[in-house]
Amino acid sequence: MRISLEHVTVRFPDRQAANKEVIAVDHVSLEIPAGKLVCLLGPSGCGKSTTLYAIAGLQPLDEGRIFFGENDVTTLDATKRGIGFVFQNYALYPHMNVRENISFPLRNAKWQRSAIQERVLEVARIVQIGNLLDRKPSQLSGGQQQRVAIARALAKNPPILLLDEPLSNLDAKLRHSTREEIRRIQKTTGITTIFVTHDQEEAMSISDEVIIMRDGHILQTGRPQGIYEEPRDLFVATFIGSPAMNILPGRLQEGELWYGEYSLGEVSLPEGVVWLGVRPEGLTPHPRGEVPTMGAIPASVIHVELLGREALYQLRLAGGDGVTMITAIDTLFREDEEIEVQLQMMKRYLFADVAQDAEQKLLLRF
Amino acid sequence: MSNAGFKQAIWYLLPALVVMAVFTYYPLGNAIVQSFNRNRSPDNYELSLKTYEYLINDRDFKVALRNTFLYTAVVTPVSIAISILIASMLVSIQRLRTFFQTIFFIPYVTSAVAVAFTWAFLFNTDRGLVNLFLGNLFHLPKIRWLTDPNVANYTVIIFGIWRSLAFNILILTTGMLSVDPQYYKAAQVDGASATTAFVRITLPLISPVIAYLFTIGMINAFKVFNEVYTLIGNLSRSVSAHTLVVYIFDAVWRARDYSLASAASVVLLLVVLVLTAFSRWVSSKTNFYG
């Protein structure tokens, strides 16, 4: 089912100052297409969880409207929205066993006893917990609790599934397999899913679409790869991607882009100070020759990490800035080696400086 | 514990142990010894089972025992049920919650004797507000709340329920507030009505608190004295509404029969011990978190 938000606004009373308010979600409008898995991504406090709770009906709105398909559900009680919700700490009822936890929403919906039994076994099979049905939540591992929470959310066949940081309580390995699991379940059931996370890698890996939020606003919406390649501004550019994009001070002068004393080629933009961004894989290393290469910046290798498939370098550029570089394993340099790096075509980004544009928007990718 | 640790700990525990030995364990042991005394006075000791023989044949003791059981059986569950209702309403209000909590807690900190005088006035046959109210509104005949041997029992029970509400409400409110609000959000999403959420989530989750209140409530109900003695002790010399502790009190201060009082105390102790063991067993069975 399609979900639309129109100018959704949520304010909280400020804890520090009485009579003041904090705007958690500020006139957010968005559209989530039916059957897709969409991530709400942003640093903590950006309003992503509040937005999710608002969609679930657990957070009243101060302004705006929410639609499920064509239906306006803005004032509909959470008990009647019929969505599935997976809480960050799972919120499994501790006094009920797994079977009772999963049947709870079905009993509330007045299902027949036999239908409930059948459905419990069915969702248990989907999330692969058929052997745990008689356990209490306290007898389950974190990953198993997580599956039970998903099973409970899926039990009543909801048109919408909401997940609030569902992987944050799992260890790294489990996080990896569980997110693929969630993706698999979402694909098999075709349920419209919103997934809240602060982990950009998580968001990139499983979602059809990513919505990046900050300070209660939506910064950018799009396919993960699209956002990675065309970040709207400096914040998104550094937030998306791991290791993060390298940011260097740049200068536009006489039709050329300069990093310190090194010219990086012709750019036809008005003169001024800019931020130059380049992702770790956008750097090409060369051995330092007698004659400096055109458009290359001298650098020294500070640290090398071999990651099996690739090598991760910490470099110090001639201008003094530290950068991260990822290369294939076949071109190896040693620590303390003096090299030079080139910035690859179309992997260079120019962002406005705060002086010209508070949002530090992307000016050019070249 | 290592020997040195024990030596150190014993010094810290000693003051409390001395106090308990002097004021609890010595009297307890003495009462058990005295209960087997053939004579009324402790100065004249003669070992026998005569007092217990007398006790189990004494009509007054049977009445007192029956009254105590009735009092406990009614006051404890009824008070807890009413307290659950009031506490659930208290936790559902946001504003003035502390204010109302205080209001409901005041009966607990006022002396039973002082309150009993007020209640004695309320239940006065001719001038009491209760009869006035019932007479004017429902045209009921005057009820001799405090002096009718068949009614006085229930007057004491009503008073006892009211008295025990305060503590129960306080503990239950705290218990209900300590339930993780996340469960209620989950219940909302799962389509549970407020009633369903209360019955299937709140009650099971606070069941350890309820079990605790049952234990404490039963023990306190068995030891009930102030409520009975101050409310009807002086008005009705008839023993029809007396409880175990009142019986013990009378055995000492009216009959001067220390042996009889000791034997009745031992019976009370045994009953309370059995009930406590039973309720502990029940609450260990109702542990939902296993």
Which chain A residue has the Cα nearest residue B180? A91
Spatial neighbors of A103 by CB under 8 A, at least 6 apart, are A116, A120, A155
Q: Do B182 and A56 touch (CB under 8 A)?
A: no
Scanning every residue of chain B, which has its alpha carbon at the shortest distance from the alpha carbon of A105?
Answer: B190
Residues of A in contact with B187 (CB under 8 A): 104
Positions of E strands within B53-179: none
Instruction: Please write down the long-range contacts of A174-181, taking CB distance under 8 Å and 24 or more positions apart.
Output: A174/A142, A174/A143, A175/A202, A178/A143, A178/A146, A178/A147, A179/A205, A179/A206, A180/A206, A181/A127, A181/A147
pLDDT at position B290 is: 46
Helices (H), chain A: 48-56, 78-81, 98-108, 113-126, 142-154, 172-189, 200-206, 224-229, 234-239
How far is A364 from chain B, CA to nearest CA, in Å?
46
Contact B98, B244 (CB under 8 A): no
Q: Which residues are bridge partners to A161 per DSSP?
A: A84, A193
User: How many cross-chain Cβ pairs, A to B, lie less than 8 Å apart?
Assistant: 62
A331 touches chain B (CB under 8 A): no
Q: How far is CA A130 from the centre of its chain?
A: 31
Task: With CB atoms and an 8 Å threshold, state whether A93 touches B186.
Answer: yes
In this complex, do B289 and A104 lie within 8 Å of one another by their Cβ atoms?
no
- Helix segments in B110-148, DSSP class H: 112-122, 129-138
* Nearest C-alpha neighbor of A295 from the set A257, A248, A330, A242: A257
Per the structure block, which two tokens stand in for B245?
């502790």
> Chain A within 8 Å of B199 (Cβ-Cβ)?
no
β-bridge mates for residue A251, sequence order: A258, A273
Nearest CA to B107 out of B168, B170, B175, B162 is that of B162
Residue of B266, B218, B273 whose CA lies nearest to B61 = B266
Characterize A76-94 residue by residue with b for buried, 16 or more Cβ atoms within 10 angstroms of its Cβ, and e for exposed. eebbebbbbbbbbebbbbb
Q: Which of B191, B196, B204 sits opposite A95 (nearest CB)?
A: B204
Q: Per residue of chain A (366 residues), what is the pLDDT tens digit?
A: 899 999 999 999 877 777 788 899 999 999 999 999 999 999 988 999 999 999 999 999 999 999 999 999 999 999 999 999 999 999 999 999 999 999 999 999 999 999 999 999 999 988 889 899 999 999 999 889 999 999 999 999 999 999 999 888 888 888 888 888 889 889 988 999 999 999 998 999 899 999 999 999 999 999 999 999 999 999 999 999 889 999 999 999 888 899 988 888 888 888 889 999 999 999 999 888 777 777 889 999 999 999 888 999 999 998 889 999 999 887 788 899 999 999 998 889 999 987 777 788 888 888
Nearest-Cα distance to chain B for A98, in Å, is 13
**Residue A110 touches chain B, beta carbons under 8 Å:** no
Round to whole Å and give the CA distance between A243 and A281.
10
Q: Which residues of A touch B200 (CB under 8 A)?
A: 104
SS (H, E, C) A92-103: CCCCCCHHHHHH
Flag whether residue A156 sits within 8 Å of chain B, measured between CB atoms.
yes
Give me the pLDDT at residue B289, please.
56
- Please list every residue in chain A whose beta carbon sits closer than 8 Å to the beta carbon of residue B196: 108
- Rounded to whole angstroms, how far apart are CA atoms A308 and B75? 74
Q: Which residues of A200-210 are buried (b: 16+ CB within 10 A; e: fewer)?
A: bebbbebbbbb
Q: How many CA atoms lie within 13 A of B56 on its CB side?
A: 6
Chain A residue numbers with beta carbons less than 8 Å from the beta carbon of B180 are 91
Which residues in chain A have their CB less than 8 angstroms from residue B207's CB? 95
Give the model confidence (pLDDT) of B225-258 as tens digits: 887 887 876 555 555 778 888 889 888 888 888 9
| Euclidean distance between CA atoms A336 and B157, whole angstroms | 89
Q: Which residues of B touch A91 (CB under 8 A)?
A: 180, 182-183, 185-186
- Listed as ranges, residues in chain B with pLDDT below 50 are 290
> Which residues, 6 or more positions from A325, have their beta carbon under 8 angstroms from its beta carbon?
A280, A281, A283, A285, A312, A313, A315, A341
* Contact (CB<8Å) B189/A156: no
- CB contact under 8 Å between A95 and B196, yes or no, is no
As beta bridge partners, residue A297 has: A341
Which two three-digit tokens encode residue B84?
């659950």
Please indicate if any CB of chain B lies within 8 Å of the CB of A198.
Answer: no
Best B179, B185, B189 member to test A by mutation, with max A CBs in 10 Å, is B189
Q: Note whether B288 contacts A94, CB cutoff 8 Å.
A: yes
Asked if B189 and A93 come within 8 Å (Cβ–Cβ), the reply is no
Q: Which residues contact B204 (CB under 8 A, 6 or more apart)?
A: A95, B288
Alpha carbon of A7: minimum distance to chain B alpha carbons (Å): 23
Q: What is the pTM of this model?
A: 0.82
List of chain B residues whose C-beta atoms are within 8 Å of the C-beta of residue A78: 185, 188-189
Nearest to A91 among B185, B204, B290 (CB): B185
**Two tokens at B152?**
């006085």
pLDDT tens track for B272-286: 999 889 888 887 876
Asked if the Cβ–Cβ distance from B191 to A82 is below 8 Å, we say yes
The answer to whether the Cβ–Cβ distance between A78 and B289 falls below 8 Å is: no
Identify the three-state secondary structure at position A78. helix
Residues of A115-138 as b/e, b for ≥16 C-beta within 10 angstroms?
ebeebbeebbebbebeebbebbbe
Q: Does A277 touch chain B (CB under 8 A)?
A: no
A236 reaches B (C-beta below 8 A): no
Strands A256-259 and A262-266, bridge-based pairing: antiparallel
Contact status of A104 with chain B (Cβ, < 8 Å): yes
Question: Can you spell out the DSSP letters for A148-195?
Answer: HHHHHHHTT--SEEEEESTTTTS-HHHHHHHHHHHHHHHHHHT-EEEE
- CA B220 vs CA B85, B167, B225, B241: distances in Å: 21, 12, 10, 17
Interface test with B, best of A87, A104, A154 (most B CBs within 10 A): A104
Q: Pick from B234, B256, B84, B232: which is nearest to B170 by CA?
A: B84
| Structural contact between residues B105 and B166, judged by C-beta atoms closer than 8 angstroms | yes
In order, the DSSP letters of B208-231 are HHHHHHHHHHHHHHHT--HHHIII
- The pair of structure tokens assigned to B17 is 């142990």
Identify from A95, A102, A160 which residue to disrupt to test chain B contact, counting B C-beta atoms within 10 A and taking the largest count: A95
The reply to whether A138 touches chain B by the CB within 8 Å rule is: yes
d(CA A82, nearest CA chain B) in Å: 7
Between β-strands A296-306 and A310-317, what pairing exists: parallel, antiparallel or unpaired?
antiparallel
A63 contact partners, CB below 8 Å, separation of at least 6: A7, A8, A9, A27
DSSP string, B243-286: -HHHHHHHHHHTS--HHHHHHHHHHHHHHHHHHHHHHHHHHHHT
A117 and A80 in contact (C-beta within 8 Å)?
A: no
A104, B190: Cβ pair inside 8 Å?
Answer: yes
CA A303 to chain CA centroid, Å, is 29
**In angstroms, how far is CA A313 from the centroid of its own chain?**
25
Nearest to A253 by CA among A239, A241, A264: A264
CA distance B203 to A95: 10
Cα B37 from Cα B44, distance rounded (Å): 8
A79:B200 CB<8 A: no
